[in-house]
Amino acid sequence: MAYLGPPGTFTEEALRGWRGLEFEAAVPFPTVEEAILAVEDGLADAAVVPIENSIEGSVNATLDSLAFEADVLIQGERVFQVHHHLLARKGVGLEDIAKVVSHPQAAAQCRRHLVEALPGVEVEAANSTSEAARRVAESPEPAAALGSLLAAELYGLEVLREGMEDHPENRTRFVLLGKKRIPPTGRDKTSMVCFIHQDRPGMLLQILQEFAFRYINLSKIESRPTKKVLGDYCFFIDCEGHEEDEVLASALKCLRCKLPRVKLLGSYPAFVEEDADA
């Protein structure tokens, strides 16, 4: 099992709290891309990575890896509440801090509280909240990190301020990735990427109509650049149903007739709140 590391990340917390997954055999990878490619290359049977946050939206590194770099499938999803804490070495006070090290998503989720607590402070980017905690623990200068209580424990840091997130209902969606297709469960979700020939009037409407005509509910639609030509975009879509369901299979067939490519990212059991304790 691969996951976004190093040890102490929120992804590790999610993996530990994901019933049915074995953490003991889990291996941390320094970036989302490397964790996903570990599955693609056969170095891991599965991976857990963040894909979306309720405050800052999608994790672009995850979307781009799934769309352009790896042929892996989403096999499941979980949503966990995320609490960010301001961490520092023992003896370092709030008034001493000149720099905060953080993953960009975490810093964005704590923007207002950071300004209030440390106006004008420099924010230095890290690949993960755990890496930020490690760097602060090893740094001789008085710095702080945004991270979890697990990271504080692992790296011997003190919590200067708890609950730095600007919104108390801050939640992150994590996905389980693998190579095997998941059979229908009756409460499924399907994720896909739609690539278009060119940006022309009505193109997005034609895509959406295939779902609307069949009364298929969309839970997400988002555009991302294809990395080829300026202005060339693809569309990430999450919808209700399984690719084997007759109605969704019909929609996918029509989309593949209209579009140069529809990349299926997986059909999998949709998360519901009851799953948090199951």
Phi, psi of 215 (to 5 degrees): 55, 40
Nearest Cα neighbor of 109 from 81, 84, 145, 135 is: 84
Residue 172 a catalytic site member: yes
Which among 9, 62, 129, 172 is annotated as catalytic? 172
Which among 174, 211, 235, 236 is annotated as catalytic? 174
CA dihedral 240, 108, 235, 174 (to 10 degrees): -40
Structure tokens at 65: 């890896």
CB 82 within 8 A of CB 172: yes
Residue 174 a catalytic site member: yes
SS3 string, the chain, reads CEEECCCCCHHHHHHHCCCCCCCCCCEEECCHHHHHHHHHCCCCCCEEEEEEECCCEECHHHHHHHHHHCCCEEEEEEEEECCCEEEECCCCCHHHCCEEEECHHHHHHCHHHHHHHCCCCEEEECCCHHHHHHHHHHCCCCEEEEECHHHHHHHCCEEEECCCCCCCCCEEEEEEEECCCCCCCCCEEEEEEEECCCCCCCHHHHHHHHHHCCCCCEEEEEEEECCCCCCCEEEEEEEECCCCCHHHHHHHHHHHHHCCEEEEEEEEECCCHHHHHC
Phi, psi of 90 (to 5 degrees): -60, 135
- Which of the residues are catalytic? 172, 174
